[in-house]
A and B are shown apart, each in its own frame.
Chain A
Amino acid sequence: MVRLVQLELFKMFTRKRSYIPFAAVLVIVILIAAALLYEGMDIHRFITRNISEMFIMKGNLVNGYLLTYLVLNLLWVHIPLLIVIVTGDLYSGEAHGGTFRLILTRPVTRSGLTTAKFTAALIYTFMLMLFTAGFSLLTGLPLLGSGDLMVLVGKMNIFSEPDVPWRFAAAFGTGFLSMLTVTCLSLLFSSMSSNSLGPILSTMAVVIVFTMISSFESGIFRLIRPYLFTTYMDSWQLFFKYPVPVSRILSNSGILAAHSVAFYFITLCYFNRKDINT
Chain B
Amino acid sequence: MIPTCPDGNIPVLLFPRFNYLSSKNRDTIPLRHAALAMMLQSDITRKVNSMGREIPVIEVNNLEKSFGQIRAVAGISFSVAEGDVFGVLGPNGSGKSTLFRMLLSLIRPDRGDIKAFGRPLGKNRKNILSGTGSFIETPDFYENLSAYRNLSLLARYSGMKDFTGRIHEVLELVGLKERMNSRVGDFSKGMKQRLGIAQAVLHRPVLLILDEPSAGLDPAGMRDIRELILHLNREEHMTILISSHLLHEIGQIAGRMIIINRGRVIAQGSMDEMTGSIMVPVRFGVDDVEHAKMILRELGKADDDIKTAEGLVVVPCPRDDIPRINQALTAAGVRVFAIQPEQSLEDYFLKIT
Residue numbers of A with Cβ under 8 A of B are: 3-4, 7, 10-11, 14-16, 97-109, 273, 275-277
Q: Provide the residues of chain B in CB contact with A105, threshold 8 Å.
A: 104, 106, 129, 132, 134, 136
Tell me the smallest distance from the CB of A225 to a CB of chain B, in Å.
Answer: 39
Tell me the smallest distance from the CB of B114 to a CB of chain A, in Å.
Answer: 14
Interface membership of B268, Cβ < 8 A: no
Q: Provide the residues of chain A in CB contact with B153, threshold 8 Å.
A: 7, 10-11
Closest Cβ neighbor of B140 among chain A residues: A98
State A106–B39 Cα separation when bound (angstroms). 18
Q: Provide the residues of chain A in CB contact with B106, threshold 8 Å.
A: 100-101, 104-105, 275-276
State A14–B183 Cα separation when bound (angstroms). 12
Among B127, B132, B144, contact of A15 (Cβ-Cβ < 8 Å): B144
Q: Provide the residues of chain B in CB contact with A275, threshold 8 Å.
A: 101, 106-108
Tell me the smallest distance from the CB of B99 to a CB of chain A, in Å.
Answer: 13
B132 near A97 (CB under 8 angstroms)? no
Tell me the smallest distance from the CB of A182 to a CB of chain B, in Å.
Answer: 26
Closest Cβ neighbor of A3 among chain B residues: B156
Q: Provide the residues of chain B in CB contact with A273, threshold 8 Å.
A: 108
16 residue pairs from A and B, CB less than 8 Å apart: A3-B159, A11-B142, A97-B142, A98-B140, A99-B140, A101-B134, A102-B139, A102-B157, A105-B132, A106-B129, A106-B154, A107-B32, A107-B126, A107-B158, A275-B106, A277-B101
Closest Cβ neighbor of A275 among chain B residues: B107
A102 near B158 (CB under 8 angstroms)? no
State A103–B129 Cα separation when bound (angstroms). 11
Q: Provide the residues of chain B in CB contact with A107, threshold 8 Å.
A: 32, 126-127, 129-130, 157-159
A276 near B143 (CB under 8 angstroms)? no
Tell me the smallest distance from the CB of A12 to a CB of chain B, in Å.
Answer: 11
Interface membership of B199, Cβ < 8 A: yes
Interface membership of B138, Cβ < 8 A: yes
Q: How many residues of B contact A (CB 8 A)?
A: 33
State A102–B150 Cα separation when bound (angstroms). 10
Tell me the smallest distance from the CB of A220 to a CB of chain B, in Å.
Answer: 37
Interface membership of B145, Cβ < 8 A: yes
Tell me the smallest distance from the CB of B179 to a CB of chain A, in Å.
Answer: 18
Interchain residue pairs A-B with the least CB separation, the first 4: A98-B140, A276-B106, A106-B157, A275-B107
Q: Provide the residues of chain A in CB contact with B126, threshold 8 Å.
A: 107-109
Greatest chain B CB density within 10 A among A10, A11, A101, A109 is at: A101
Among B138, B145, B158, B203, contact of A98 (Cβ-Cβ < 8 Å): B138
Tell me the smallest distance from the CB of A218 to a CB of chain B, in Å.
Answer: 45
A102 near B159 (CB under 8 angstroms)? no
Greatest chain A CB density within 10 A among B32, B134, B142 is at: B142
State A191–B170 Cα separation when bound (angstroms). 33
